Chain A
Amino acid sequence: DQQVKQNSPSLSVQEGRISILNCDYTNSMFDYFLWYKKYPAEGPTFLISISSIKDKNEDGRFTVFLNKSAKHLSLHIVPSQPGDSAVYFCAALVSGSARQLTFGSGTQLTVLP
């Protein structure tokens, strides 16, 4: 049973436009959410996070939105750049646990020049 779901395995966007990556979760105990980016042949790198006490967190071109009632979060990238092409993983955490993240299956983002 996947507790964190990314239902879109792939997304293509034109350079300069907005990329929106979606993530749903089922475990209401999750209270901290993260996005990781992964290039081929490299490990994932941390991108942005949000605590459940917030509904938005912004860092440059990246914004994460959290809708707790819908158990849904999204990552917005504006404007999208070709270097953003990567696999994006959504992850969730229960604070106070042994700190193991639960990951989604990932979305391959391709930004077309």
Chain B
Amino acid sequence: DVKVTQSSRYLVKRTGEKVFLECVQDMDHENMFWYRQDPGLGLRLIYFSYDVKMKEKGDIPEGYSVSREKKERFSLILESASTNQTSMYLCASSLLDRGGGYTFGSGTRLTVV
């Protein structure tokens, strides 16, 4: 069964901490994405990558960075966590030439206190 795996389901971090969210996919997909989901706002794109070492800003990149050193792994980094980054974070992957067809991970619920 193909999968997108996010390393943590729940995380609690303190304000100012550096936070790493990891995502791994086993489908050999070119595209990988990080979204955050907030009530009333839906899913908003933070960053995406369509190849190893390539990254593009999404709609809300401020306060975040990403790393893609290997095709199967896409990491989201909160350089200095703040309370407004408390959210559900969702990783997804897709094939480059497929219209849509994302596969999502189960999400990481991050709380910054």
**Residues of chain A having any CB pair with chain B under 8 Å:** 4, 6, 9, 32, 34, 36, 41-46, 49, 51, 89, 91, 93, 95, 98-106
Whether a CB of chain A sits under 8 angstroms from the CB of B69 is no
The answer to whether A101 touches B56, judged by C-beta atoms less than 8 angstroms apart, is no
- Sample of 17 more A-B contacts, CB < 8 Å, known A44-B102, A99-B31, A101-B100: A32-B100, A34-B101, A36-B104, A41-B109, A43-B4, A43-B106, A43-B107, A44-B90, A49-B99, A89-B42, A91-B100, A93-B100, A98-B50, A99-B50, A100-B58, A101-B45, A102-B45
Please report the C-alpha to C-alpha distance between residue A101 and residue B96 in the assembled complex, in whole angstroms: 13
**Residues of chain B having any CB pair with chain A under 8 Å:** 4, 9, 31, 33, 35, 40-45, 48, 50, 56, 58, 90, 92, 94, 96, 98-107, 109
Please report the C-alpha to C-alpha distance between residue A91 and residue B45 in the assembled complex, in whole angstroms: 12
The answer to whether A32 touches B99, judged by C-beta atoms less than 8 angstroms apart, is yes
The answer to whether A34 touches B42, judged by C-beta atoms less than 8 angstroms apart, is no
